[in-house]
C-alpha cells in the first residue's frame, strides 16, 4: 500500500491520484494500487519558513501525518508537493525502512525516459527554488537550469498558484501558460516544479505535454514502478 502525504494543496493531491490511476496498467479494480491518503490543507506554509527562516515549520505536522500513514500500513510514501521536499531527508529518516520517493528524482527519471536535452527550465515556488534540490540534481546530470525572472514570478507564478488554491483554474492556466512560453524560448523543456501548476490545465493537455515535464505525473509514474517491483518481489 502506498501512503500519500498530501493536502498541499488538496487539488494537487487529487491530481496526483488521478494520474496514478491513469498510469497503472489495469483491467479491473483489483489491478490498481492500494493507497491511503492524508490530505490536510491546514498544514503550515511550506514557502514561508524557507524564505524567512523564523516562520513556523511544517515539519512536526508532516511527521504526524507520516506516522498516520505508516500506522495505516503504508509500505511506500509519496508527497505530491515539491516545496515540502525541503524536509524530505528528515521525513525519510522518520519513515525508517519504508521508502519515501523524492519527486525531483522522479522528474530526473522522466527527463531520461523522454531523452530530453538541456538547458532545462524550472517553474516552481520561491521556496522550491531556494531549497535548490532541482538545481543540484540537474547540475549533477550536466543540465543547465533556467529560472523565470523575478517579474514573471511576481506577476505570473505566484498569483497563478493562489488562483489554483481558490479554484479559479482557467485564470491560473492563462498565467502559467505565459510563464511557460517565456521560459521555453530559452530551454528544451520546462519542469512544472509546483504540483499546483499542472492541476490548472485540462488532463492530457497536448501543449503542456509537448513543452513540459509534469512533476506530479513523474511522481505517479515512479510510484507505479515501485508498486510493480514490490508485487514482483512477493
Predicted confidence at residue 229, as pLDDT, reads: 94
Which comes out higher in pLDDT, residue 232 or 77?
77
Burial of 111 (0-12, 13-18, 19+ CB in 10 A): buried
Q: What is the pLDDT of residues 165-176, one digit of tens each?
A: 999 999 999 999
Cell of 43: 498544514
Contact 80, 4 (CB under 8 A): yes
Q: Give domain 104-214's CATH architecture.
A: 3-Layer(aba) Sandwich (3.40)
Cell of 214: 509534469
Total count of residues recorded for the chain? 234
Phi, psi of 6 (to 5 degrees): -125, -160
Locate the domains of the chain by residue range.
2-102+218-233, 104-214
From the CA atom positions of the chain, what is the Rg in Å?
17
Per CATH, domain 2-102+218-233 is 3.40.630.40? no
Q: Is the dihedral of CA 20, 22, 25, 27 positive or negative?
A: positive
Min mean pLDDT across 65-69, 136-140, 229-233 is at 229-233
Q: What is the pLDDT of residues 177-229, one digit of tens each?
A: 999 999 999 998 999 999 999 999 998 899 999 999 999 999 999 999 999 99
Task: For residue 152, give the nearest of 171, 134, 188, 178 by alpha carbon.
Answer: 178
| Whether the predicted pLDDT of 100 surpasses 70 | yes
| Whether the predicted pLDDT of 163 surpasses 50 | yes
Strands (DSSP E) contained in the chain are: 2-6, 35-39, 76-78, 120-123, 145-146, 189-192, 212-214
Predicted confidence at residue 52, as pLDDT, reads: 87
| Identical fold, 2-102+218-233 and 104-214 | yes
Q: What is the pLDDT of residues 16-30, one digit of tens each?
A: 999 999 999 999 999
Q: What is the pLDDT of residues 122-162, one digit of tens each?
A: 999 999 999 999 999 999 999 999 999 999 999 999 999 99
Whole-number Å distance between alpha carbons of 14 and 164: 13
What average pLDDT does this structure show over 80-90? Answer: 98
| Whether the predicted pLDDT of 234 surpasses 60 | no
Chain position carrying cell 499546483: 196
Whole-number Å distance between alpha carbons of 118 and 141: 10
| Whether the predicted pLDDT of 36 surpasses 70 | yes
Tell me the whole-structure pTM to 2 decimals.
0.95
Task: For residue 177, give the nearest of 153, 204, 197, 203 by alpha carbon.
Answer: 197
Whole-number Å distance between alpha carbons of 173 and 168: 9
Strand partners, 175: none
Predicted confidence at residue 108, as pLDDT, reads: 97
The residues near 152 (Cβ < 8 Å, ≥ 6 apart) are 178, 179, 182
Predicted confidence at residue 233, as pLDDT, reads: 60
**Residue 73: band (very low, low, confident or very high) from pLDDT cuts 50, 70, 90:** very high
Q: What is the pLDDT of residues 38-64, one digit of tens each?
A: 999 999 999 989 998 778 899 999 999
Amino acid at each position: 500500500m502506498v501512503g500519500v502525504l498530501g493536502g498541499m494543496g488538496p487539488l494537487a493531491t487529487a491530481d496526483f491520484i488521478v494520474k496514478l490511476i491513469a498510469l497503472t496498467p489495469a483491467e479491473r479494480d483489483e489491478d490498481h494500487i492500494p493507497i491511503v491518503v492524508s490530505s490536510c490543507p491546514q498544514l503550515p506554509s511550506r514557502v514561508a519558513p524557507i524564505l524567512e527562516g523564523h516562520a513556523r515549520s511544517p515539519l512536526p505536522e508532516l511527521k504526524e501525518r507520516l506516522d498516520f500513514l505508516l500506522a495505516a500500513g503504508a509500505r511506500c510514501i509519496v508527497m505530491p508537493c515539491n516545496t515540502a521536499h525541503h524536509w524530505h531527508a528528515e521525513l525519510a529518516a522518520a519513515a525508517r525502512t519504508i521508502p519515501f520517493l523524492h519527486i525531483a528524482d522522479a522528474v530526473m527519471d522522466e527527463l531520461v525516459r523522454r531523452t530530453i536535452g538541456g538547458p532545462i527550465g524550472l517553474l516552481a515556488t520561491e521556496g522550491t527554488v531556494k531549497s535548490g534540490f532541482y538545481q543540484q540534481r540537474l547540475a549533477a546530470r550536466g543540465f543547465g537550469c533556467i529560472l523565470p525572472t523575478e517579474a514573471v514570478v511576481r506577476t505570473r507564478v505566484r498569483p497563478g498558484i493562489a488562483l489554483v488554491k481558490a479554484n479559479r483554474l482557467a485564470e491560473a492556466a492563462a498565467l502559467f501558460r505565459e510563464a511557460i512560453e517565456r521560459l521555453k524560448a530559452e530551454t528544451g523543456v520546462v519542469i512544472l516544479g509546483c504540483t499546483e501548476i499542472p492541476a490548472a490545465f485540462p488532463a492530457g493537455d497536448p501543449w503542456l505535454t509537448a513543452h513540459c515535464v509534469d512533476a506530479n505525473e513523474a511522481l505517479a509514474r515512479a510510484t507505479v514502478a515501485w508498486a510493480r517491483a514490490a508485487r514482483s518481489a512477493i
